Structure formats: structure tokens, C-alpha cells
Amino acid sequence: MSHLRFVLPTLLAAAFGAQAAPTLSDAEYASVLKTVRPAAGEDKFDQVPWLISLWEARKHAAKEGKPILLWEMDGHPLGCG
């Protein structure tokens, strides 16, 4: 049944006369990547020394007198069904 998520949009596009998405040349693709990816120093999120253990984070926060940001999510980590 999961294969329908790939086949169904193609069938709907064909049924309603939608045009296929244009393809990008290698140069266009490189230009798009340069535009959408963070520049050096822009991605501050990756510079945070995140901890994956709540217990270790609690000990570290208590030692430094700082709060904890707990980022918790439910479901599949990739957001898949």
C-alpha cells in the first residue's frame, strides 16, 4: 500500500494533464544548493554542545547553574508514517 504514495501523484498528474516538473542541470542544482544551505557560521544550532542523556544534561546544568532545554518528539524521527 505504501507504494501508492509514489504512484498516485504520477497518475493524478497524468489524469489532469499536469506537466512534468522541469529537470535541473548540474550548474542549476549547484546554484540552488548554494542558495538554500546555510553559509559558514550561519548554522548556530550545530554549534550547541547538545547532550543526548537527560541525566548527563541535568548534572551539567546543575553544575553550571543553567536551565535545560528538553527537545522531545514523538513518532518516527524522520517523520514517516
pTM comes to 0.42
3-state secondary structure the chain: CCCHHHHHHHHHHHHCCCCCCCCCCHHHHHHHHHHHCCCCCCCHHHHCCCCCCHHHHHHHHHHHCCCCCCCCCCCCCCCCC
pLDDT per residue as tens digits for the range 30-63: 898 888 888 888 888 888 888 989 999 999 999 9
Residues 11, 18: Cα–Cα separation, whole Å: 10
1 pLDDT band, cuts 50/70/90, is: very low
User: Terminal CA-to-CA distance of the chain, rounded, Å?
Assistant: 12
